[in-house]
Structure 1
Amino acid sequence: MLKLIDLQSYYGRSRALNGVTLTVPKGEITGIAGRNGTGKTTLLKTIMGLTDASAGQILLEGQDLSARPTHERAAAGIAYVPQGRGIIPDFTIRENILMGAFARRDGKRQVPEIVAELFPYLAANMARPGGVLSGGQQQQLAIARALAAAPDVILLDEPNEGIQPSIVEEIEAVILRLKEELGLTVILVEQNIGFLRRAASNFAMLEKGRIVESGPIAALSDAVVERHMTI
């Protein structure tokens, strides 16, 4: 489904990713872990074409996207839920969701039916401004916006960060449904190792912009976590 080959990425003249090669299986969740500042967010931004410069290949179903602008990568089937969610506070819930629909390949501009099933609160409050929502509700909104693009691949950057405990379990359940019911390929940046072990089929551990450990999720042992995530 998605292959990254010798991926390099830069902010200005500083290299943030250094030779990342990774195969992301179709219809599975691949977890990305590592300490803060190791390149996890940069990896997702590089896939979307949001860093200053990059090199290497990004192949989606064999199609090389590495020279494509961000909007063409989105139209090719990649959706991104950024850290901090990135919703527009003055836009209504409906307007925020419909922003994602501009990347749909079939031209439809509509709120996906699955949104009402996954996020009943959003469906019942479509006219409310996004800025009045709680952090957890805004995370739900950001995922709904991504789903409006009808993507094949969804990139999730620490979706549980700063979320009230009462909604964390709901967000985790939705992420599992993205794979199990919608058949989406998911790249999940997540510091909660317990959730990664429950959700992901594969993982990659980043350190200083490189993958230092990777493989099936069963290989994400306590020793690996201690070696690369303990401060």
Structure 2
Amino acid sequence: MLTLTNLDSFYGRSQALHDVSVTARAGTILAVLGRNGVGKTTLLRSILGLTDRQSGAIRLEGEDLAAQPTYRRAKAGIAYVPQGRMIIPDFTIRENILMGGFAAKGPRAIPEIVPKIFPYLMDNLDRPGGVLSGGQQQQLAIARALAAEPKVLLMDEPTEGIQPNIVEQIEDIIIRLNTELGLTIILVEQNVGFARRAAHDFAMLENGRVVADGAIASLTEETVTRHMAI
């Protein structure tokens, strides 16, 4: 589905990713793991063309998007749930969701699955996004991304900063998006337990390089300790 080959990515003169090659197989969840600051968020931003410069190939269903601007990558089928959610606080829930539909092939609309997985949002469409709790804002950020009708969903630490009683709900929703919609998901995650429960494959980053990857069943405690322990 989405294949990165020999990807280098830069912020100014600083190289953040080095020769990264990974594949997110169609209909699977790829967990991107590693300590803070090793390039996980940069990997997602690079897929969308949000770094200053990059080289290498980024292929979605065989089409190389590496030379395309961000909006064309979005229209090709890549949506992003960023770290920190980045909803617009003065927009209503409805407006935030519909804003994500600029990349959809049809008219902007609230996705059919949203009432099923986020009933609170549907019951409060006219509330400003800024009054929502952290967990509710994360739901809104996911709903906004789904409005783009994506083939691939990029998610950057989607349970970070969310109250503990909501974390498991968000985790279950991510799994449902994969199993019920067949969405391919690239999931940046620090929670190894959740990664093992949700993902099919993994890529471990360190210093902007892939140092281990493969089926999630092959992720050993030794690898986790070596590359994630503080």
Determine the C-alpha separation between the residues in 1 that align with 2:229 and 2:26: 31
Question: 2:223 matched to which residue of 1?
Answer: 224
Deviation for aligned residue 1:170:
0.8
The CA distance in 2 between the partners of 1:114 and 1:202, in whole Å, is 25
User: What's the counterpart of residue 209 of structure 2?
Assistant: 210
Q: Which residue does 1:25 correspond to in 2? A: 25
For 2:183, the equivalent position in structure 1 comes to 184
Counterpart of 1:186 in structure 2: which amino acid? I
1:18 CA drift (Å): 0.4
- CA deviation string 1:43-90 (max 9, x = no partner): 000000101111100000000000111110000000000000010000
Structure 1 position 166, deviation (Å): 1.3
Secondary structure of the corresponding residue to residue 141 of structure 1: helix
SS in 2 for 1:179: helix
**Secondary structure class of the residue paired with 2:120:** helix
Q: What does the per-residue CA deviation read over 1:99-140, in whole Å, with 9 as the maximum and x for residues that have no partner?
A: 1111002x3111112111110100100000000000000000
Which stretches of structure 1, 4 residues or more, deviate above 3 A after TM superposition? none
| Amino acid aligned to 1:159 | P
Question: 2: distance between equivalents of 1:227 and 1:168?
Answer: 26
Which amino acid in structure 2 is aligned with residue 152 of structure 1? K
- Count how many residue pairs are aligned between Structure 1 and Structure 2: 230
1:77 and 1:216 map into 2 onto residues whose CA distance is 24
Measured after TM superposition, the shift of residue 184 of structure 1 is 0.4
Spell out the pairing of 1:83-162 with structure 2 (5 A cutoff). Answer: 83-105=83-105, 107-162=106-161
1:54 paired residue number: 54
RMSD (CA atoms) = 0.5
CA distance in 1, matches of 2:151, 2:176: 14
The Cα offsets for residues 162-219 of structure 1, whole Å up to 9 and x where unpaired, read as 0001111110011001110000000000000000000000000000000000000011
Query: What per-residue deviation string (whole Å, max 9, x for no partner) do you get for residues 8-34 of structure 1?
Result: 000011000000001111000000000
Q: Structure 1: how far apart are the matches of 2:84 and 2:70? A: 19
Q: Which amino acid aligns with 2:169?
A: E
2:40 alignment counterpart: 40
Equivalent position SS for 1:156? strand
Q: TM-score, normalised by structure 1?
A: 0.99
- Output the CA distance in 2 between the equivalents of 1:108 and 1:28: 28
